[in-house]
Chains A and B, each alone.
Chain A
């Protein structure tokens, strides 16, 4: 540590890092992302002892996990993260590891929830019938998946509006949509969607609308066990299924032959179709 590195090595390393940073923005934020270091349980600098090496990512993850315990009292904020860090024996200023503050905490929570849902759905779809065609989504799996995902918000319901407001911040928007897309994609896939046409997009968009409207409903729902929200969810999913059927009907009627047939009938009615006269 005492020796000063040769100038050429340092500048070479620095320019490599700079090059990487310009192509991969993740490098410009933190110059060493997967560097192992001593865990907080071993502060002694005795190198002969067995050291528990944790990576930075694991440590950040565990601080955010502890911080979640403080969300009911402090909201999705830097204060909650500082308290979480203090639980790990670190001073409050360690919240600086998370430059987006409450946003980082919220994203961590959302990612965790989405991972749990994915695992649950993977387990489910192994058991169900695989021979479903792509034009139908199993409504029961959809309903259960949405309900399960919304129930994960229940412990943090008091401060969830704050989290929703945080997703509107420019630093959080991108990750918010990425997480949302992954969630809807998983739910759609495991409910049986194997479509390869435009309905891939329309289904996910429609389910996104369903999810978001239910989320908005649940934060202001005061009924017992959120029963009104589950009824609301059922109604939205019915709309979704009906819309799917309507779309098929529309498809049947929007091919060119149909339009030419309508045109001919119209001309016949008006009496200007003089082909047979």
Chain B
């Protein structure tokens, strides 16, 4: 208990010291004033937005993001592994585990070009099927000798291992960039995952799906590339069925100053260089790391999700804040 109190005191003092160093107008509770003035659009100006550290018009941004992903599509997965040292796989595994999809789930994976989340979903559903048939907890704790010694000798009825409604799970991968989708389809073929998946080209701001048609909506490392984030969130709200879950895995703000320094150094020095060596494209990876810095931090993005109408919005930091999972429900 003492440890928690001293931790919160340190956290509060961290917030306050950063406030008093940077802030020009402070409210009593300490408004966090970031030195990056153009984090949001200045009020009243709906024409321009940020593309990395540049200011561009909104149409320009959509076009340039499209160009970036056309260029990186082939080497996208290699670069992900190189940049995150393979940790992105763990993040995505945890993301799918957190969703814990049930049989019959209709998932919409937006900006899911090369299919990482979709493949994990399909493999999770296959794993769940095999789990149902394995050992169940014994019904009564009597006659201990009759406990199964070995999972394959399970006795007693294993409760409905195949659901009555049939396992109608399906994942729709939607991406604005055709090249990313093509890479994804190729990978799906290689892994033998052709059942229960469909590939649709579409814009996250105007989804080509009916309202209330999806059980779950996921977007992994895609929402910071969307020009109008609030519009994408509104679209997510529209296509989800009541009770549906919105989940977003995205790079976020690292709070811990030590980790932050190391992470900034790595981002700005190593990643564009890696991009040049492995993919022959410095600028695209420069855009990538700048777009991470421009994306709102955890609490503000959570607020935006609530604005779209979602309830029970929660945030979970991964790797100290380098990535974060936001989750909300349409209730």
Contact among A1, A14, A222 for B303, CB-based, below 8 A: A14
Bound Cα distance A96, B308 (Å): 19
Give chain A interface residues in 1-40, CB to chain B under 8 Å.
Answer: 1-2, 4-8, 10-19, 22-23, 29-32, 35, 37-38, 40
Contact among B32, B40, B216, B314 for A91, CB-based, below 8 A: B216
In the complex, what's the smallest C-beta–C-beta distance from B54 to chain A, in angstroms?
Answer: 19
Collect the chain B residues with CB atoms within 8 Å of residue A18's CB.
Answer: 15, 299
CB-based contact A91/B215 at 8 Å: yes
Stretch in contact with the other chain, from A81-89, A103-111, A132-140, A187-195: A81-89
In the complex, what's the smallest C-beta–C-beta distance from A58 to chain B, in angstroms?
Answer: 11
Collect the chain A residues with CB atoms within 8 Å of residue B15's CB.
Answer: 15, 18-19
CB-based contact A37/B331 at 8 Å: yes
10 A-B residue pairings within 8 Å (CB atoms): A2-B234, A10-B303, A14-B297, A15-B30, A32-B311, A59-B331, A89-B242, A91-B244, A93-B215, A97-B329
A273 at the interface (CB under 8 A from B): no
A78 at the interface (CB under 8 A from B): yes
Q: Which residues of B contact A (CB under 8 A)?
A: 8, 11-12, 15, 27, 29-34, 39-41, 43, 98-106, 137, 139-142, 159-160, 212, 215-216, 230-231, 234, 241-245, 297, 299-300, 302-303, 306-309, 311-314, 327, 329, 331
CB-based contact B311/A11 at 8 Å: no
A234 at the interface (CB under 8 A from B): no
A244 at the interface (CB under 8 A from B): no
A149 at the interface (CB under 8 A from B): no
Q: Which residues of A contact B (CB under 8 A)?
A: 1-2, 4-8, 10-19, 22-23, 29-32, 35, 37-38, 40, 43, 56, 59, 73-75, 78-79, 82, 85, 88-97, 99, 158-159, 161-162, 219-220, 222
Bound Cα distance A275, B137 (Å): 74
Collect the chain A residues with CB atoms within 8 Å of residue B212's CB.
Answer: 43
| Residue in A5, A10, A92 with the greatest tally of chain B CB atoms within 10 Å | A92
In the complex, what's the smallest C-beta–C-beta distance from A269 to chain B, in angstroms?
Answer: 53
CB-based contact A4/B230 at 8 Å: yes
With A17-B299, A91-B241, A219-B141 known as contacts, the answer to whether A1 contacts B308 (CB < 8 A) is yes
Q: Which 8 A-B pairs have the closest CB atoms?
A: A90-B243, A92-B102, A91-B215, A14-B299, A94-B243, A82-B102, A22-B8, A93-B245
CB-based contact A35/B311 at 8 Å: yes
CB-based contact A32/B40 at 8 Å: no
Contact among A1, A31, A92 for B313, CB-based, below 8 A: A31
Contact among A1, A23, A35, A93 for B101, CB-based, below 8 A: A93
With A16-B29, A74-B159, A159-B137 known as contacts, the answer to whether A31 contacts B242 (CB < 8 A) is no
CB-based contact A92/B32 at 8 Å: no
Known: A11-B32, A92-B102, A94-B244. 13 other contacts (CB 8 A): A1-B230, A12-B31, A15-B29, A15-B30, A19-B12, A73-B159, A78-B100, A89-B242, A94-B245, A162-B137, A220-B141, A222-B140, A222-B142
Residue of A with least CB distance to B141: A220
CB-based contact B300/A93 at 8 Å: no
Collect the chain B residues with CB atoms within 8 Å of residue A4's CB.
Answer: 40-41, 43, 230
